[in-house]
């Protein structure tokens, strides 16, 4: 299992273009300054049809649209990693423990780009990875055999109390910016997650670039028809920065968005 060094922009979707409506669907937790109405449906029901359907012995697909059952919770949600990220070259069984029960399948793609997830623990020939599905802080074990591996030197840190985002590369600060975070009724979820995709909407939206994360709103099952996926994205009204006004997403200044666009997929995002 060879490891490849990750250069800025190497491990990311390649200019993934989505219709504006699709991009906004994925910004379901990031609407205007007031909280949206939570759906009575369970997470995923407002997203892609069949997202929670069982795929047989392989288990449901671990995507942002799915709700997984029986998954182990991240054991160290405030810890960093060594930057190791992995990509399954084929659908990969996700187990509840090394050699244990299959609880899901990690697909090769997420939102039109390659699936890259961070490794948070290693046990022999097994890797514990963070998953992009509900519940938040979901994790699982996958076999190391046949995985494509890489390392990212970046870490994204979001300080909810200070309402600041800090981008770190190789233990050095690239930049720090005031950001808008979730309002009290729709807070940005804390814990460690990761950059799941890089989306460039094909039509005009509030942000030229959207970076969905592997976490969801804790208070909104769905908003605007989407699964409540939390994302990093820009915002045209700069007066929101430094305030708690979103539905859970983190709105960032233009300069921060430009630098975040270089962050590889699977990069760890620490929120707290």
Residue 203 binned pLDDT confidence (cut-offs 50, 70, 90): confident
- Residue 249 a catalytic site member: yes
Give me the pLDDT at residue 170, please: 97
Give me the pLDDT at residue 18, please: 53
Candidates 30, 216, 247, 249; catalytic one = 249
What percent of the chain clears pLDDT 70, i.e. is strictly above it?
78
Residue 142 to residue 90: CA distance in whole angstroms: 12
Which of 87, 118, 151 represents a domain boundary (last residue)? 151
User: Would you state the structure tokens that stand for residue 189, as one six-digit string?
Assistant: 């979820």
The DSSP string of 177-229 is EE-BEE-TTSPPPPEEEEB---EEESS--S-S-EEEEEEE-SS-S-BTTB--E
- Residue 30 a catalytic site member: no
**If you average pLDDT over every residue of the chain, what do you get?**
84
Which of 110, 134, 151 represents a domain boundary (last residue)? 151
Q: What is the mean pLDDT of residues 200-229?
A: 86
Residue 110 to residue 242: CA distance in whole angstroms: 31
Which of 122, 151, 180 represents a domain boundary (last residue)? 151
State the chain's maximal CA–CA distance in angstroms: 51
Are 164 and 249 in the same domain? Answer: yes
Residue 36: give its domain's CATH number: 2.40.440.10
Instruction: Establish if 129 belongs to a structural domain.
Output: yes
Are 159 and 120 in the same domain? Answer: no
Please give the tally of structural domains in the chain: 2
Element (H, E) at 24: helix 20-26
Instruction: Establish if 170 belongs to a structural domain.
Output: yes
**Helix, strand, or coil (residue 240):** helix
Residue 100 to residue 183: CA distance in whole angstroms: 40
Query: Who has greater pLDDT, 21 or 216?
Result: 216
Span 32-75, pLDDT tens digits? 433 333 332 222 222 332 333 333 457 899 999 999 999 999 99
Cβ–Cβ < 8 Å for 232, 249: yes
User: Would you state the structure tokens that stand for residue 91, as one six-digit string?
Assistant: 């659908």
Domain of residue 132 covers 56-151
Are 127 and 253 in the same domain? Answer: no
Cβ–Cβ < 8 Å for 93, 59: yes
Are 157 and 267 in the same domain? Answer: yes
167 φψ region: left (φ > 0), alpha (ψ -120 to 50), beta (else): beta
Are 164 and 38 in the same domain? Answer: yes
Residue 271 to residue 249: CA distance in whole angstroms: 11
Inform me whether the pLDDT recorded for 211 exceeds 50: yes
Element (H, E) at 259: helix 254-260
Residue 8 to residue 119: CA distance in whole angstroms: 19
Are 137 and 230 in the same domain? Answer: no
Query: Who has greater pLDDT, 169 or 51?
Result: 169
Are 209 and 254 in the same domain? Answer: yes
Candidates 87, 216, 233, 247; catalytic one = 233
User: Would you state the structure tokens that stand for residue 168, as one six-digit string?
Assistant: 């770190």
Q: What are phi and psi of 225, to 5 degrees?
A: 90, -5
Q: How far is CA 98 from the centre of its chain?
A: 24
Instruction: Establish if 256 belongs to a structural domain.
Output: yes
Instruction: Establish if 49 belongs to a structural domain.
Output: no
Query: Who has greater pLDDT, 40 or 272?
Result: 272
Cβ–Cβ < 8 Å for 119, 86: yes
């Amino acid at each position: 299992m060879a490891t490849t060094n990750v250069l800025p922009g190497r491990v990311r979707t390649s200019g993934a273009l989505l219709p504006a409506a699709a991009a906004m669907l994925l910004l379901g937790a990031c609407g205007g300054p007031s909280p949206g109405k939570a759906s009575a449906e369970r997470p995923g029901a407002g997203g892609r049809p069949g997202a929670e359907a069982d795929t047989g012995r392989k288990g449901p697909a671990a995507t942002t649209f799915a709700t997984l059952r029986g998954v182990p919770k991240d054991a160290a949600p405030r810890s960093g990693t060594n930057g190791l990220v992995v990509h399954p070259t084929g659908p990969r069984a996700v187990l509840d423990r090394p050699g244990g029960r299959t609880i899901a399948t990690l697909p090769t793609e997420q939102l039109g780009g390659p699936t890259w997830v961070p490794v948070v623990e290693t046990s022999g020939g097994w890797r514990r990875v963070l998953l992009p599905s509900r519940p938040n802080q979901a994790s699982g074990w996958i076999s190391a055999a046949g995985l494509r591996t890489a390392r990212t030197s970046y870490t994204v840190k979001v300080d909810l109390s200070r309402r600041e985002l800090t981008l770190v590369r190789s233990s050095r600060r690239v930049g720090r910016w005031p950001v808008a975070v979730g309002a009290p009724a729709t807070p940005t979820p804390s814990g460690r997650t990761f950059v799941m995709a890089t989306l460039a909407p094909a039509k005009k939206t509030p942000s030229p670039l959207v970076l969905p994360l592997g976490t969801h709103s804790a208070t909104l099952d769905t908003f605007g028809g989407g699964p409540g996926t939390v994302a990093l994205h820009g915002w045209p009204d700069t007066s929101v920065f430094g305030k708690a006004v979103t539905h859970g997403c983190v709105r960032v200044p233009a300069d921060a968005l430009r630098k975040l666009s270089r962050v590889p997929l699977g990069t760890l995002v620490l929120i707290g």
